[in-house]
Structure 1
């Protein structure tokens, strides 16, 4: 019996304009600390494109959208082929709310519900599977105040 190597976080490479190095992000949940490898969307172009056109997303992969300041945030799934969980995160790193299993290709607006600093998109259903809930804490330099 052989063990297959772990699949890369991204099944398909990001478009060249969006390509970014992967960064570690941790979430302290009721089931323990969960580590993800995330791309960080820091520019307007990266935030606009997000995970559009991706055909798959690894279980511990994602994209962190850094809006740099607390603000109401509105997301959508236009040109996004896979369901996602969207974690809306306050500046202190606490998760304000989770929009689970968002609908692929939808142009319906998904609201943060309150001002947030960032949004983490992970594969649809992962938040529930990993026990991640509103109120849990996210650790990443975006939330360190630096």
Structure 2
């Protein structure tokens, strides 16, 4: 019995000594700040007013919004990507050099949008309502367009904006 107690006491002493050594080593180890392992957040672009778009019904103005203008290929390719919020009073106006069937998509766009396709005569050709965020599916117009206005989803319904109405800017 005494032999068993001696072995147990020896084991406990060893465990105690190992714990003390581990504590001693840890107290002298490098105490640098923890390393950030997540990727830095991409800042959300801030709205920059570059103009205004007025919606017209039978030639009469009825709704005006402030817009950013995408008038070159790089700006058109970026569009409203990476925005986490868009006030109801703003949007983006895309201006193309020539009328064509300019299709859009929602890649890297986190908010649903209404996409308003406008012909060279500034009349609304078609509207894609409540588009799906992050979708890479092509969203075509139904005719030749030279301008496109993107606004928050539901904007066109809320303001009774329809094909055949017009815009001015």
- TM-score category of the 2 structures, normalised to the smaller one: 0.7 to 0.9
CA contact (8 A) 2:67 2:93 kept: yes
The one of 68, 91, 103 aligned to 1:39: 68
**Equivalent position of 2:53 in the other structure:** 25
> What is the 5 A alignment of 1:135-146?
135-140=164-169
Where does structure 1 differ by over 2 angstroms across 4 or more consecutive aligned residues? 19-22, 29-32
Q: Secondary structure in 2 aligned to 1:111?
A: coil
Which deviates more from structure 2 when the two are superposed, residues 75-84 or residues 60-69? Answer: 60-69
In 2 relative to 1, CA 21–60 (structure 1 residues): closer, same or farther, beyond 3 Å? closer
| In structure 1, C-alpha distance between the alignment counterparts of 2:113 and 2:121, rounded to whole Å | 23
Q: Please state if 1:99 is matched with 2:128.
A: yes
CA contact (8 A) 1:20 1:40 kept: no
**Normalising by the residue count of structure 2, what TM-score does the alignment of the two structures yield?**
0.70
| In structure 1, C-alpha distance between the alignment counterparts of 2:91 and 2:112, rounded to whole Å | 12
Aligned pairs, how many?
125
How much does 1:28 deviate? 1.3
List gaps (5 residues or longer) in structure 2. 1-43
In 2 relative to 1, CA 99–27 (structure 1 residues): closer, same or farther, beyond 3 Å? same
Q: Which is bigger in relative contact order (C-alpha 8 A, separation at least 6)?
A: 1
RMSD: 1.7
CA contact (8 A) 1:29 1:131 kept: no
Q: Which has the larger radius of gyration?
A: 2
Q: Please state if 1:87 is matched with 2:119.
A: no
Residues 8-54 of structure 1: CA deviation (Å, up to 9, x unaligned): xxxx534xxxx854201100137961001001101111000000000
The one of 62, 67, 84 aligned to 1:55: 84
How much does 1:68 deviate? 1.7
| In structure 2, C-alpha distance between the alignment counterparts of 1:78 and 1:43, rounded to whole Å | 18
Is the strand fraction higher in 1 or 2? 1
List gaps (5 residues or longer) in structure 1. 1-11, 141-146
